[in-house]
Amino acid sequence: MNTFQLSCFLEVADTLNFARAAERLHVTQPAVTQQIRSLENELNVRLFNRTTRSVKLTEEGLVFLHDARHIVAISERAKKRFENPYGREVRTLSLGCHSFAQLFMLPPALKQLASQHLDVHPRLHVVPFQHLYRLLEEDEVEVVIGFREPESKKIAAVYRELKRVPIACFCVPENPLSKRGSATMEDLKGEPLVLFDPGKAQSDVAELQGRLMGGRSPADFYFCESMEAVIMLTLAGSGIAVMPESLVPRALPLARVPIEGVGTASFGVYYKTLQGNAPLRDLVQILREQARETT
């Protein structure tokens, strides 16, 4: 395996087009095809499903995507270090999230962290749900920021709660629900639902979604692969969404309606250890302080 193979893989994954990837790399299309085949043979997996009309990443390709980016990034950093051997040392802090909505919560904390650790360069990863904790276990990320997972998932990490987040109903202002101070579960059962994939949703949300779906037609549901997609379809007026309040920026034109009798979700961080990792320890402390200020 070499970095040119990985660069070819990353360009094809980005463009989903072998010809366009070849243009970006300034090589021929057969050269890109040969490198991908060689990489697939070495890994003993198929990275792309290819037809005459389309190119798509396989599940194995999605898993390998983060590893390839990580290896290429390390290679690039090593080259730059020797371009300027007397430059300031850089300490990388890798953070993982399930969605960009969670990523948007980080700028204030990272700004404060930068004032305490001038040498720290955060690396932010938005990783598909099922792979994120594997990366934590393998030390590819140092902390995962998100909602608490059920005990049955047996995550090999410490969980530190930052705050409890209310779960609310979200809808466009034109929806009659937006004028109400609160809504019951019965009120929501008559509404079209924009749902996060139950296999990826946190247990609190998945349980609520299941209760709302009972006995209804599939035509009433819009399933989404990401939280961002849920927000977009809700903004389009396709239906209502049920999710933790902190995932929806307040600047968006969506009404948030409290749901009667529904509890809160635990939001926090997963990490293996804080010992010997001052930047991570300080980041966790900053997040805790900021969470208290916004509670």
Question: DSSP readout, 72-105?
Answer: HHHHHHHHHHHHSTTSPP-EEEEEEESSHHHHTT
At residue 127, the pLDDT reads 77
List pLDDT tens digits, range 55-99. 999 989 988 988 898 888 888 877 766 665 555 677 889 999 888
Single-letter residue type at 85: P
* Residues contacting residue 30 through CB under 8 Å, at least 6 positions apart: none
Place of tokens 């393998």: 138
Side-chain half-sphere exposure of 72, counting CA atoms within 13 A: 15
Quick one: how far is CA 225 from the chain centroid?
11
**What residues contact residue 108 under an 8 Å CB cut-off, 6+ apart?**
290
- What pLDDT, on the 0 to 100 scale, is given for residue 162? 92
Place of tokens 């953070």: 95
Classified as helix, coil or strand, 10 is: helix
Residue 112's pLDDT is 95
The pLDDT score that the predictor gives to residue 257 is 94
Low-confidence ranges of the chain (pLDDT < 50): none
pLDDT > 70 in the chain, percent: 94
How confident is the model at residue 183, as a pLDDT?
92
Phi, psi for residue 175 in degrees, rounded to 5: -70, 130
Amino acid at 219: A
CA distances from residue 147 to 99, 100, 158, 203 in whole angstroms, order as listed: 11, 14, 13, 9
Residue 197 pLDDT = 79
